[in-house]
Amino acid sequence: MKNRIRFISALLGVLVLGAGTAFGQVTIASDNGSNSPYNGTTWTDGSNGGSGFGTWSQGLTGDGGRYVGTTGQGANSFGLYAENSGVSTASRSFSSGDLLPGQKFSIDLGHTANVVTGAEVGINLQDDGSTVLTLKFIGGGSNWQLNDGGSDFSAGQAYSANTSISFIFTYEGNNKYTYSFGSGSGSSFTATNTISGINGFQLFNNNQGGGENFGANNLSIDGGAVRILGSAGWRILSSPTSDNTYNNLLGNIWTQGMTGSDSPSNGTANVQDYNGTSFNAISDLATTMTAGKGFITYVYSDDDFDGSAEGFPKTLSLSGTENSGTVTPTLNSGADAWTLVGNPYASTIDWDNLTKTDLTGTVYVYDHSYGTPSGDDVAASGSAGSYRVWNGTTGSLSGGLITPFQGFWVQNSASATSEALSIEEADKATGGTFYKSTSANPNMKLMAKMGTLQNDTYFSFMNNGSVNKDNFDGLELAPLDFVDFLSLSTVVNEEKLSINNLPLDLTEAVEIPVSVEAFTASGDAWVAKGGEVTISWPELKDIPAEWSVILTDFETGMTTDLKESESYTFSLEAVKGKLKPKTNFSVLSPIDVTREKSVNSSSRFGLTISPSTTVSNDEEIASVESFKLEQNYPNPFNPSTTIKYAVGENGPVNIAVYNVMGQKVAELLNTTKTAGNYQVTWNAAGVSSGIYYYRLTAPGQVLTRQMTLIK
pTM exceeds 0.75: no
Most confident of 421-425, 575-579, 656-660, 695-699: 421-425
Residue 646: other Cβ atoms inside 10 A: 21
Indicate the Cα dihedral angle 7, 11, 16, 22, nearest 10°.
-160
Where do the domains of the chain lie, and which CATH numbers do they carry?
A: 27-222 (2.60.120.200), 226-425 (no CATH), 442-610 (no CATH), 614-709 (2.60.40.1930)
CA–CA gap between residue 230 and residue 313 (Å, rounded): 7
Burial of residue 480 (number of CB atoms within 10 Å: 0-12, 13-18, 19+): buried
| Class of residue 113 by CB neighbours under 10 A (exposed 0-12, middle 13-18, buried 19+) | middle
- How many angstroms separate the CA atoms of 81 and 72, rounded? 13
Other beta carbons within 10 angstroms of residue 631's beta carbon come to 12
**Are the C-beta atoms of 399 and 481 separated by less than 8 Å?**
no
pLDDT at residue number 422? 97
Phi, psi (rounded to 5 degrees) for 398: -55, 115
Q: Which residue pairs from 504-508 have beta carbons closer than 8 angstroms and sit at least 24 positions apart in sequence?
A: 504/441, 504/442, 504/461, 504/462, 504/463, 504/465, 505/463, 506/461, 506/547, 506/609, 506/611, 506/686, 507/611, 507/685, 507/686, 508/611, 508/684, 508/685, 508/686, 508/687, 508/688, 508/689, 508/711
Q: CA separation (Å) from 351 to 273, 366, 370? A: 21, 15, 20
Rounded Cα–Cα distance for residues 454 and 385 (Å): 10
Measure the CA–CA gap between 12 and 136, rounded to whole angstroms.
40
Q: Is the pLDDT of residue 287 over 90?
A: yes
Report pLDDT digits (tens) over 8-36: 222 222 333 222 223 334 566 788 888 88
Could you tell me how many residues make up the chain?
Answer: 711
pLDDT in tens, 62-72: 888 888 876 65
- Report the candidate in 689, 644, 650 with the shortest Cα–Cα distance to residue 668: 644
Residue 335 neighbours by CB distance under 10 Å: 13
Describe the chain by its helix, strand, coil percentages, rounded to 5: 5, 50, 50
More confident residue, 368 or 408: 408
Q: Is 538 exposed, middle or buried (0-12, 13-18, 19+ CB in 10 A)?
A: middle
Return the amino acid letter for 344.
Answer: P
Candidates 250, 255, 228; CA nearest to 239 is 250
600 pLDDT higher than 70: no
Q: Determine the pLDDT at residue 386.
A: 84
Spatial distance between the Cα atoms of 241 and 225, rounded to a whole number of angstroms: 12
Q: What angle is formed at CA 450 by the lines to CA 571 and CA 528, rounded to 5 degrees?
A: 70
Angle at 293 between CA 281 and CA 496, to 5 degrees: 85
Mean pLDDT score, 251-275: 94
Please check the confidence at residue 697 and state whether its pLDDT lies above 90. no
Quote the pLDDT of residue 448: 95
What one-character-per-residue DSSP string does 79-109 give?
A: EEEEEEEEEEEEEEEBTT-SPPTT-EEEEEE
Condensed to tens digits (0 to 9), the pLDDT of residues 109-141 reads 887 666 777 788 889 999 888 988 888 887 776
Query: What is the per-residue pLDDT for 84?
Result: 80
Could you list the beta-strand ranges (E) of 18-151: 22-23, 27-31, 57-69, 77-93, 104-111, 120-127, 130-138, 144-147
Whether the predicted pLDDT of 194 surpasses 60: yes
Cα separation of 646 and 230, whole Å? Answer: 68
| 8 A C-beta contact, residue 694 and residue 704 | yes
Q: Looking at this protein, which amino acid is placed at residue 488?
A: L
| Amino acid symbol at 474 | G
Burial of 381 (0-12, 13-18, 19+ CB in 10 A): middle
Average pLDDT on 692-708 reads 85
Q: How far is CA 446 from CA 313, 375, 535, 541, 605, in A?
A: 31, 13, 7, 12, 12
Question: pLDDT grade, residue 367 (50/70/90)?
Answer: confident
- The CA-CA-CA angle for residues 616, 617, 623, to 5°, reads 130
Mean pLDDT of 249-261: 95
The bridge status of strand 453-462 relative to strand 495-503 is parallel
Which residue type is seen at 551?
Answer: L
Q: Which of 360, 366, 357, 226 is nearest to 294 (CA)?
A: 366
Rg (CA), the chain: 32
Q: Checking DSSP bridges between strand 559-561 and strand 453-462, what pairing results, if any?
A: unpaired
Angle at 295 between CA 454 and CA 497, to 5 degrees: 35
pLDDT for the residue 624: 56
Tell me the pLDDT tens digit for each residue of 387-416: 999 999 999 987 888 888 899 999 999 999
Say how many Å lie between the first and final Cα of the chain, rounded. Answer: 61
Query: Is residue 269 very low, low, confident or very high in pLDDT (cuts 50, 70, 90)?
Result: very high
- How many CA atoms does the CB half-sphere of 683 hold within 13 Å? 10
pLDDT tens per residue across span 605-616: 989 898 865 555
Instruction: Concatenate the DSSP letters of all residues of 333-372 into one string.
Output: -STT-EEEEE--SSS-EEGGGSEEESB-S-EEEEETTTTS
Higher pLDDT, 218 or 154: 218
Between residues 165 and 308, which one has the greater pLDDT? 308
So what's the pLDDT on residue 588? 57
Is the pLDDT score of 671 beyond 80? yes
Whole-angstrom distance, CA of residue 230 vs CA of residue 208: 50
Cβ neighbours around 634 below 10 Å, total: 10
What are the angstrom distances between the C-alpha of 169 and each of 37, 73, 123, 172, 192? 27, 19, 12, 10, 10
Pick the closest to residue 697 from 688, 664, 708, 128 (CA basis): 664
